[in-house]
Amino acid sequence: MADGQKGQIVAGCLAPHPPHLVYADNPPENEAYSEGGWETLRWGYQRLARKLKNIDYDAIVIFTPHWQTYIGTHFLGLPQFKSKSVDPVFPNLFRYNYDLTVDVELAQAMHDEAAAQGIITKMMKNPDFRVDYGTITSCHLLNPEWDKPIVTISSNRNTHYYSPEVMVEQATALGRACAKAIEESGKRVVLVASHSLSHRHFVEEAPLPEDMSREHIYNHSQYVWDMKIIEMMREGKSREVIDIMPEFTEQTIAETEGGGLIWMLGAMGYPEFPAEIYGYQSVIGTGNVVACWDPNDETREYVL
């Protein structure tokens, strides 16, 4: 334990990763160029990024559904990854040159603690491995300077292999293991669950992808479900969010199926304080909310 201090989770962020948001931002790392778009989400992200700048933390630990593993949970296990991430679904929007550092010590600690608790795990040590675009997108939007090391955790596909209920059990157990490892590390960590809420896409794209006159939720049912989940987040009912998660996932083809939010709220001990809501908007039909759980009573805000 560093300096004898217990490590802690200083924030938990629900950070959706539509590559459209990076595309709309036109950072120099991305090759594609846009005229903007999806400002409600991007401005929300920018405000959350400013908040994180004022929080003292050592690393970002991100759980991504776009590193899909069927044989256990995997952790990035090399100190640096530099390459180009091209989105396999939206390559016209996202071709991002990244150069990131990994907190391997923390990754190994979480891996070891999860393994000790019976969870199937693997460290990923192939230097040619390409970091997934979910990690890149969420981390870029939360910390565009990339001045903090990250740890990426893969999504073990329990929902598909078993059921959403099994995912709740498995991702919660993983969250608890990660929380224990963080506490023992002495580090201050921001957790990130990288995913949308409802996740039914349109299968056609506007000629100009950022044409906001074409953007809306896929159907009203998804919207109503998303609002219900966000309302519960606002009320601090994170345990209830998890309880209703299997039905939400099935009804809205939600990206919660990957387990990220379950993992994060499990690691944070199902917070009973309100989540900060930074913005909600659809992207190619899917429902996306930027939210933060700030355990510090003095810095927690009512944002929207």
Closer by beta carbon to another protein, 46 or else 170: 170
Closer by beta carbon to another protein, 250 or else 272: 250
Hey, what are 261's tokens?
């939010």
Q: Check if the beta carbon of residue 189 is closer than 8 Å to that of residue 106.
A: yes
Restricting to residues 253-272, name those near another protein by CB under 8 A. none
Closer by beta carbon to another protein, 1 or else 27: 27
Closer by beta carbon to another protein, 271 or else 285: 285
86 is an interface residue for another protein by CB under 8 A = yes
Hey, what are 118's tokens?
């019976």
Pattern 26-65, another protein, x by CB under 8 A: ----------------------------------------
What is the sign of the dihedral through the CA atoms of 255, 257, 260 and 262? Answer: positive
Closer by beta carbon to another protein, 170 or else 281: 170
- Residue 199: name the closest of 289, 298, 79 by CA: 289
Q: Check if the beta carbon of residue 287 is closer than 8 Å to that of residue 252.
A: yes
Angle, in degrees to the nearest 10, between helices 260-267 and 164-185: 40
- How many whole angstroms separate alpha carbon 74 and alpha carbon 70? 10
Q: Give Cα 50 to chain centroid, integer Å.
A: 17
Query: In which residue are the tokens 């952790």 written?
Result: 75
- # chain residues binding another protein, by CB under 8 A: 33
Pattern 176-215, another protein, x by CB under 8 A: -------------------------x-xxx----------
Tell which one of 122, 176, 214, 300 touches another protein (CB under 8 A): 122
Angle formed at CA 47 by CA 7 and CA 234, multiple of 5 degrees: 75
126 is an interface residue for another protein by CB under 8 A = yes
Tell which one of 6, 53, 82, 160 touches another protein (CB under 8 A): 160
Q: How many Cα atoms within 13 Å fall on the side-chain side of residue 16?
A: 30
128 is an interface residue for another protein by CB under 8 A = yes
Closer by beta carbon to another protein, 201 or else 239: 201
Hey, what are 16's tokens?
């959706």
Question: Which residues partner with 81 through β-bridges?
Answer: 100
120 is an interface residue for another protein by CB under 8 A = yes
Chain residues that interact with another protein, rule: CB under 8 A: 67-72, 74, 84, 86, 88-92, 95, 120, 122, 124-126, 128-130, 154, 156-157, 160-161, 201, 203-205, 284
